[in-house]
Amino acid sequence: MDLENKFLDAQQRSKKLDHQSNNNLLDLYSLYKQATEGDIKGNRPGMFDLKGGAKYDAWNLRQGMLREEAMESYIELVNRLESESQI
């Protein structure tokens, strides 16, 4: 299976993960966005949008990460979270 298909498969599997921590959710979000859209654009949401600010900051940390690297990291994270949930 090529990287693109592995990434799509990991996206589907991530939807079945139970109750992840905020950090895991932000990691999944930021890696997904970096893999699908590249570097973040636009301004950070205002200080009253805590959720939007956290998502912006998480994605911004991925600045410069290559698409393929983000896809691989996303797949690895989903695999790790799946294996941890089976314990």
Structure tokens at 18: 């139970």
d(CA 59, CA 27): 8
> The pTM is what?
0.92
**Alpha-carbon distances of 64 from 25, 35, 40, 43, 51, rounded to whole Å:** 20, 11, 10, 17, 23
φ, ψ dihedrals at 23, nearest 5°: -65, -45
**Residue 80 maps to which CATH number?**
1.20.80.10
Q: What is the pLDDT of residues 33-59, one digit of tens each?
A: 999 999 999 999 998 999 999 999 999
pLDDT at 19 over 80: no
Count of domains in the chain? 1
